[in-house]
Chain A
Amino acid sequence: MIGSGIKRGTAELAVLSVLQDGPLHGYELARRIEQQTNGALRFTLAALYPMLYRMEQQRWIRGTWETSANGRKRRCYRLTPAGKKKLSPLQREWEELFRALQRLTKVAHA
Protein backbone atom coordinates (compact mmCIF):
# COMPACT_ATOMS: atom_id res chain seq x y z
CA MET A 1 0.00 0.00 0.00
CA ILE A 2 1.33 3.43 -0.92
CA GLY A 3 1.93 5.57 2.15
CA SER A 4 0.22 8.92 2.57
CA GLY A 5 3.56 10.78 2.36
CA ILE A 6 4.32 9.29 -1.07
CA LYS A 7 0.77 9.91 -2.26
CA ARG A 8 0.94 13.52 -1.14
CA GLY A 9 4.33 13.96 -2.77
CA THR A 10 3.17 12.64 -6.15
CA ALA A 11 0.01 14.71 -5.99
CA GLU A 12 1.91 17.90 -5.22
CA LEU A 13 4.40 17.18 -7.99
CA ALA A 14 1.56 16.57 -10.44
CA VAL A 15 -0.16 19.84 -9.55
CA LEU A 16 3.01 21.92 -9.66
CA SER A 17 4.11 20.33 -12.96
CA VAL A 18 0.79 20.99 -14.68
CA LEU A 19 0.59 24.55 -13.39
CA GLN A 20 4.02 25.17 -14.87
CA ASP A 21 2.30 25.48 -18.27
CA GLY A 22 -0.06 28.20 -17.08
CA PRO A 23 -2.90 29.00 -14.66
CA LEU A 24 -5.82 26.58 -14.40
CA HIS A 25 -8.94 26.22 -12.30
CA GLY A 26 -9.50 23.14 -10.12
CA TYR A 27 -11.65 21.08 -12.50
CA GLU A 28 -9.42 21.76 -15.49
CA LEU A 29 -6.34 20.99 -13.40
CA ALA A 30 -7.72 17.57 -12.42
CA ARG A 31 -8.75 16.87 -16.02
CA ARG A 32 -5.33 17.84 -17.37
CA ILE A 33 -3.54 15.59 -14.86
CA GLU A 34 -5.79 12.66 -15.72
CA GLN A 35 -5.31 13.27 -19.44
CA GLN A 36 -1.53 13.70 -19.29
CA THR A 37 -1.05 10.57 -17.16
CA ASN A 38 -3.43 8.50 -19.34
CA GLY A 39 -5.76 8.12 -16.40
CA ALA A 40 -3.10 6.80 -14.01
CA LEU A 41 -3.55 9.81 -11.73
CA ARG A 42 -7.09 10.89 -10.96
CA PHE A 43 -8.16 13.55 -8.54
CA THR A 44 -11.65 13.63 -7.17
CA LEU A 45 -12.97 16.86 -5.74
CA ALA A 46 -12.42 15.47 -2.21
CA ALA A 47 -8.76 14.81 -2.89
CA LEU A 48 -8.02 17.91 -4.91
CA TYR A 49 -9.23 20.90 -2.92
CA PRO A 50 -7.75 20.20 0.53
CA MET A 51 -4.44 19.75 -1.27
CA LEU A 52 -4.80 22.94 -3.33
CA TYR A 53 -5.68 24.93 -0.20
CA ARG A 54 -2.71 23.48 1.68
CA MET A 55 -0.37 24.30 -1.20
CA GLU A 56 -1.81 27.79 -1.30
CA GLN A 57 -1.09 28.23 2.41
CA GLN A 58 2.47 27.12 1.74
CA ARG A 59 2.55 29.81 -0.96
CA TRP A 60 3.51 27.40 -3.71
CA ILE A 61 0.40 28.35 -5.68
CA ARG A 62 -1.97 31.32 -5.66
CA GLY A 63 -5.67 31.25 -6.43
CA THR A 64 -7.57 34.21 -7.88
CA TRP A 65 -11.14 34.51 -9.09
CA GLU A 66 -11.40 35.04 -12.81
CA THR A 67 -14.32 35.28 -15.18
CA SER A 68 -14.12 32.99 -18.20
CA ALA A 69 -15.28 33.82 -21.73
CA ASN A 70 -18.71 32.29 -21.02
CA GLY A 71 -19.13 34.56 -17.99
CA ARG A 72 -18.49 31.88 -15.38
CA LYS A 73 -16.45 32.73 -12.32
CA ARG A 74 -13.70 30.25 -11.61
CA ARG A 75 -10.85 30.25 -9.13
CA CYS A 76 -7.65 29.96 -11.14
CA TYR A 77 -4.44 28.68 -9.62
CA ARG A 78 -1.02 29.74 -10.75
CA LEU A 79 2.48 28.81 -9.70
CA THR A 80 4.25 31.30 -7.41
CA PRO A 81 8.04 31.88 -7.45
CA ALA A 82 8.21 29.71 -4.29
CA GLY A 83 6.29 26.97 -6.11
CA LYS A 84 8.66 27.14 -9.06
CA LYS A 85 11.57 26.83 -6.67
CA LYS A 86 9.93 23.85 -4.97
CA LEU A 87 9.28 22.05 -8.25
CA SER A 88 12.83 21.30 -9.43
CA PRO A 89 14.12 19.58 -6.24
CA LEU A 90 10.81 17.70 -6.03
CA GLN A 91 11.18 16.49 -9.62
CA ARG A 92 14.77 15.42 -8.94
CA GLU A 93 13.80 13.51 -5.80
CA TRP A 94 11.05 11.63 -7.63
CA GLU A 95 13.25 10.84 -10.59
CA GLU A 96 15.82 9.40 -8.19
CA LEU A 97 13.18 7.37 -6.39
CA PHE A 98 11.80 5.94 -9.64
CA ARG A 99 15.28 5.11 -10.94
CA ALA A 100 16.06 3.35 -7.66
CA LEU A 101 12.81 1.38 -7.81
CA GLN A 102 13.43 0.44 -11.43
CA ARG A 103 16.88 -0.87 -10.55
CA LEU A 104 15.41 -2.77 -7.65
CA THR A 105 12.75 -4.45 -9.77
CA LYS A 106 15.30 -5.30 -12.48
CA VAL A 107 17.52 -6.97 -9.84
CA ALA A 108 14.53 -8.83 -8.46
CA HIS A 109 13.59 -10.16 -11.92
CA ALA A 110 17.17 -11.05 -12.92
Chain B
Amino acid sequence: MMALRAITSVFTITEFELRKVYHDMSQVFIRALQPVLWLVIFGEVFSKVRVLPTTGYSYLQFLTPGVLAQSVVFMAIFLGITLVWERDLGLLHKLLSAPIPRSSIIIGKAFAAGARSILQAIVVFILALIMRIELTIDVVSVLGVLFIIILSGMCFSSLSIFLASLFKTRERMMGIGQAITMPLFFASSAIYPIDLMPDWLKIIARVNPLSYIVDALRALLVTGDFSRLPVDLGVLVLAVIVMVGLATLAFRRIIE
Protein backbone atom coordinates (compact mmCIF):
# COMPACT_ATOMS: atom_id res chain seq x y z
CA MET B 1 0.00 0.00 0.00
CA MET B 2 2.67 2.47 1.06
CA ALA B 3 5.03 1.36 -1.70
CA LEU B 4 2.29 1.56 -4.29
CA ARG B 5 1.44 5.09 -3.17
CA ALA B 6 5.09 6.09 -3.33
CA ILE B 7 5.35 4.82 -6.90
CA THR B 8 2.10 6.53 -7.98
CA SER B 9 3.30 9.81 -6.52
CA VAL B 10 6.57 9.58 -8.46
CA PHE B 11 4.55 9.19 -11.65
CA THR B 12 2.22 12.04 -10.64
CA ILE B 13 5.16 14.40 -10.19
CA THR B 14 6.67 13.27 -13.50
CA GLU B 15 3.36 13.51 -15.35
CA PHE B 16 2.77 17.11 -14.38
CA GLU B 17 6.38 18.17 -15.00
CA LEU B 18 5.98 16.81 -18.54
CA ARG B 19 2.58 18.47 -18.97
CA LYS B 20 4.36 21.77 -18.36
CA VAL B 21 6.84 20.98 -21.13
CA TYR B 22 3.92 20.11 -23.39
CA HIS B 23 2.33 23.50 -22.71
CA ASP B 24 5.51 25.27 -23.73
CA MET B 25 7.26 23.33 -26.46
CA SER B 26 9.34 26.34 -27.45
CA GLN B 27 11.73 25.59 -24.56
CA VAL B 28 12.64 22.32 -26.24
CA PHE B 29 13.82 24.10 -29.36
CA ILE B 30 15.65 26.79 -27.45
CA ARG B 31 17.43 24.13 -25.45
CA ALA B 32 18.36 22.33 -28.65
CA LEU B 33 20.31 25.38 -29.82
CA GLN B 34 23.42 24.62 -27.81
CA PRO B 35 24.08 21.11 -29.15
CA VAL B 36 23.36 22.40 -32.64
CA LEU B 37 25.99 25.11 -32.26
CA TRP B 38 28.55 22.66 -30.86
CA LEU B 39 28.12 20.29 -33.75
CA VAL B 40 27.81 22.86 -36.50
CA ILE B 41 30.52 25.30 -35.44
CA PHE B 42 32.94 23.52 -33.12
CA GLY B 43 32.53 20.13 -34.79
CA GLU B 44 32.91 21.39 -38.33
CA VAL B 45 36.00 23.45 -37.56
CA PHE B 46 37.81 20.74 -35.59
CA SER B 47 37.01 18.07 -38.12
CA LYS B 48 38.65 20.30 -40.77
CA VAL B 49 41.87 20.90 -38.83
CA ARG B 50 42.19 17.24 -37.79
CA VAL B 51 44.24 17.91 -34.65
CA LEU B 52 42.41 15.39 -32.50
CA PRO B 53 43.22 11.73 -33.05
CA THR B 54 39.95 9.82 -33.19
CA THR B 55 41.20 6.51 -34.49
CA GLY B 56 39.15 5.19 -37.34
CA TYR B 57 36.24 7.57 -37.04
CA SER B 58 35.56 11.09 -38.22
CA TYR B 59 35.72 13.80 -35.58
CA LEU B 60 32.03 14.54 -35.96
CA GLN B 61 31.22 10.89 -35.29
CA PHE B 62 33.39 11.08 -32.20
CA LEU B 63 31.85 14.37 -31.05
CA THR B 64 28.13 13.63 -31.52
CA PRO B 65 27.72 11.32 -28.47
CA GLY B 66 29.70 13.85 -26.43
CA VAL B 67 27.48 16.72 -27.45
CA LEU B 68 24.37 14.65 -26.78
CA ALA B 69 25.56 13.79 -23.27
CA GLN B 70 26.61 17.38 -22.65
CA SER B 71 23.27 18.83 -23.64
CA VAL B 72 21.42 16.42 -21.35
CA VAL B 73 23.72 16.99 -18.40
CA PHE B 74 23.85 20.78 -18.75
CA MET B 75 20.07 21.00 -18.78
CA ALA B 76 19.74 18.77 -15.74
CA ILE B 77 22.34 20.63 -13.72
CA PHE B 78 20.18 23.75 -13.68
CA LEU B 79 17.02 22.01 -12.44
CA GLY B 80 17.86 23.21 -8.92
CA ILE B 81 17.17 26.79 -10.02
CA THR B 82 13.61 25.87 -10.92
CA LEU B 83 13.26 24.26 -7.53
CA VAL B 84 14.52 27.35 -5.71
CA TRP B 85 12.11 29.41 -7.81
CA GLU B 86 9.22 27.14 -6.80
CA ARG B 87 10.31 27.44 -3.18
CA ASP B 88 10.37 31.24 -3.44
CA LEU B 89 6.91 31.31 -4.97
CA GLY B 90 5.31 29.03 -2.40
CA LEU B 91 4.63 26.08 -4.70
CA LEU B 92 7.10 23.90 -2.88
CA HIS B 93 5.62 24.49 0.56
CA LYS B 94 2.26 23.39 -0.67
CA LEU B 95 3.73 20.37 -2.43
CA LEU B 96 5.51 19.35 0.78
CA SER B 97 2.24 19.61 2.72
CA ALA B 98 0.76 16.83 0.57
CA PRO B 99 0.96 13.32 2.06
CA ILE B 100 3.40 12.05 -0.60
CA PRO B 101 6.87 10.89 0.50
CA ARG B 102 9.60 13.50 -0.03
CA SER B 103 11.71 11.09 -2.03
CA SER B 104 8.91 10.83 -4.61
CA ILE B 105 9.28 14.54 -5.33
CA ILE B 106 13.01 14.11 -6.02
CA ILE B 107 12.67 10.94 -8.06
CA GLY B 108 9.64 12.28 -9.95
CA LYS B 109 11.33 15.55 -10.89
CA ALA B 110 14.59 13.81 -11.74
CA PHE B 111 12.78 11.27 -13.88
CA ALA B 112 10.92 14.04 -15.68
CA ALA B 113 14.23 15.80 -16.34
CA GLY B 114 15.53 12.55 -17.81
CA ALA B 115 12.44 12.00 -19.93
CA ARG B 116 12.58 15.57 -21.16
CA SER B 117 16.11 14.94 -22.44
CA ILE B 118 14.70 12.42 -24.90
CA LEU B 119 13.49 15.37 -26.96
CA GLN B 120 17.04 16.68 -26.82
CA ALA B 121 18.31 13.38 -28.18
CA ILE B 122 15.80 13.46 -31.01
CA VAL B 123 17.04 16.89 -32.05
CA VAL B 124 20.65 15.66 -32.05
CA PHE B 125 19.68 12.57 -34.07
CA ILE B 126 17.89 14.68 -36.66
CA LEU B 127 20.85 17.04 -36.88
CA ALA B 128 23.25 14.12 -37.30
CA LEU B 129 21.09 12.89 -40.13
CA ILE B 130 21.12 16.28 -41.83
CA MET B 131 24.88 16.67 -41.41
CA ARG B 132 25.36 13.12 -42.69
CA ILE B 133 27.19 12.01 -39.59
CA GLU B 134 27.39 8.24 -39.70
CA LEU B 135 25.77 6.75 -36.57
CA THR B 136 24.59 3.25 -35.74
CA ILE B 137 20.83 3.55 -35.54
CA ASP B 138 19.01 0.33 -34.72
CA VAL B 139 16.67 -0.91 -32.00
CA VAL B 140 19.47 -1.72 -29.55
CA SER B 141 21.31 1.56 -29.94
CA VAL B 142 18.18 3.73 -29.77
CA LEU B 143 16.75 2.00 -26.70
CA GLY B 144 20.19 1.96 -25.10
CA VAL B 145 20.70 5.65 -25.77
CA LEU B 146 17.28 6.54 -24.33
CA PHE B 147 17.97 4.47 -21.22
CA ILE B 148 21.35 6.11 -20.65
CA ILE B 149 19.95 9.57 -21.30
CA ILE B 150 17.16 9.16 -18.78
CA LEU B 151 19.60 7.94 -16.14
CA SER B 152 22.02 10.79 -16.93
CA GLY B 153 19.25 13.35 -16.59
CA MET B 154 18.24 11.80 -13.27
CA CYS B 155 21.80 11.71 -11.98
CA PHE B 156 22.63 15.34 -12.63
CA SER B 157 19.21 16.79 -11.79
CA SER B 158 19.41 15.05 -8.40
CA LEU B 159 22.87 16.52 -7.93
CA SER B 160 21.32 19.88 -8.75
CA ILE B 161 18.52 19.40 -6.22
CA PHE B 162 21.12 18.43 -3.63
CA LEU B 163 23.11 21.60 -4.35
CA ALA B 164 19.96 23.76 -4.33
CA SER B 165 19.11 22.40 -0.88
CA LEU B 166 22.50 23.57 0.38
CA PHE B 167 22.86 26.87 -1.47
CA LYS B 168 19.22 27.92 -1.48
CA THR B 169 19.30 31.00 -3.75
CA ARG B 170 18.95 31.29 -7.51
CA GLU B 171 21.99 33.53 -7.81
CA ARG B 172 24.25 31.04 -6.07
CA MET B 173 22.78 28.19 -8.09
CA MET B 174 23.53 30.04 -11.32
CA GLY B 175 27.14 30.42 -10.20
CA ILE B 176 27.44 26.84 -9.01
CA GLY B 177 25.90 25.54 -12.23
CA GLN B 178 28.36 27.50 -14.34
CA ALA B 179 31.29 26.47 -12.15
CA ILE B 180 30.38 22.80 -12.45
CA THR B 181 29.52 22.55 -16.12
CA MET B 182 32.88 23.70 -17.46
CA PRO B 183 35.20 21.21 -15.69
CA LEU B 184 32.53 18.52 -16.06
CA PHE B 185 32.58 18.93 -19.81
CA PHE B 186 36.27 19.50 -20.45
CA ALA B 187 37.46 16.91 -17.94
CA SER B 188 35.55 14.19 -19.73
CA SER B 189 35.86 12.27 -22.96
CA ALA B 190 33.11 14.39 -24.54
CA ILE B 191 35.20 16.41 -27.02
CA TYR B 192 38.62 14.72 -26.99
CA PRO B 193 39.95 11.33 -25.98
CA ILE B 194 41.04 10.98 -22.35
CA ASP B 195 44.46 9.72 -23.50
CA LEU B 196 45.37 13.25 -24.64
CA MET B 197 44.96 14.72 -21.16
CA PRO B 198 47.77 15.37 -18.66
CA ASP B 199 47.85 12.81 -15.86
CA TRP B 200 46.14 14.94 -13.22
CA LEU B 201 43.24 15.65 -15.54
CA LYS B 202 42.97 11.98 -16.44
CA ILE B 203 42.26 11.24 -12.78
CA ILE B 204 39.42 13.75 -12.75
CA ALA B 205 38.06 12.41 -16.03
CA ARG B 206 38.07 8.89 -14.60
CA VAL B 207 35.83 9.86 -11.65
CA ASN B 208 33.64 12.08 -13.81
CA PRO B 209 30.31 10.32 -14.47
CA LEU B 210 30.05 12.23 -17.75
CA SER B 211 33.02 10.24 -19.13
CA TYR B 212 31.15 7.00 -18.55
CA ILE B 213 27.97 8.37 -20.08
CA VAL B 214 29.84 9.55 -23.18
CA ASP B 215 31.70 6.24 -23.38
CA ALA B 216 28.46 4.26 -23.30
CA LEU B 217 26.78 6.49 -25.88
CA ARG B 218 29.83 6.28 -28.12
CA ALA B 219 29.84 2.49 -27.89
CA LEU B 220 26.18 2.35 -28.87
CA LEU B 221 26.20 4.97 -31.60
CA VAL B 222 29.67 4.78 -33.14
CA THR B 223 32.10 2.01 -32.27
CA GLY B 224 29.79 -0.92 -31.54
CA ASP B 225 32.41 -2.09 -29.04
CA PHE B 226 30.29 -3.05 -25.99
CA SER B 227 33.15 -4.37 -23.84
CA ARG B 228 33.14 -1.42 -21.44
CA LEU B 229 29.36 -1.01 -21.43
CA PRO B 230 28.72 -2.98 -18.19
CA VAL B 231 31.23 -0.79 -16.32
CA ASP B 232 29.75 2.38 -17.81
CA LEU B 233 26.22 1.39 -16.85
CA GLY B 234 27.30 0.21 -13.41
CA VAL B 235 28.95 3.55 -12.66
CA LEU B 236 25.93 5.46 -13.97
CA VAL B 237 23.39 3.47 -11.95
CA LEU B 238 25.52 3.81 -8.83
CA ALA B 239 25.82 7.57 -9.42
CA VAL B 240 22.03 7.88 -9.79
CA ILE B 241 21.43 6.01 -6.53
CA VAL B 242 23.99 8.12 -4.65
CA MET B 243 22.71 11.41 -6.07
CA VAL B 244 19.02 10.65 -5.47
CA GLY B 245 19.91 9.56 -1.94
CA LEU B 246 21.88 12.74 -1.22
CA ALA B 247 19.14 14.92 -2.71
CA THR B 248 16.44 13.22 -0.63
CA LEU B 249 18.45 13.63 2.57
CA ALA B 250 19.24 17.28 1.95
CA PHE B 251 15.88 18.25 0.47
CA ARG B 252 14.11 19.27 3.67
CA ARG B 253 16.75 21.95 4.22
CA ILE B 254 15.55 23.86 1.19
CA ILE B 255 12.52 25.20 3.04
CA GLU B 256 14.22 25.87 6.38
A binds B: no
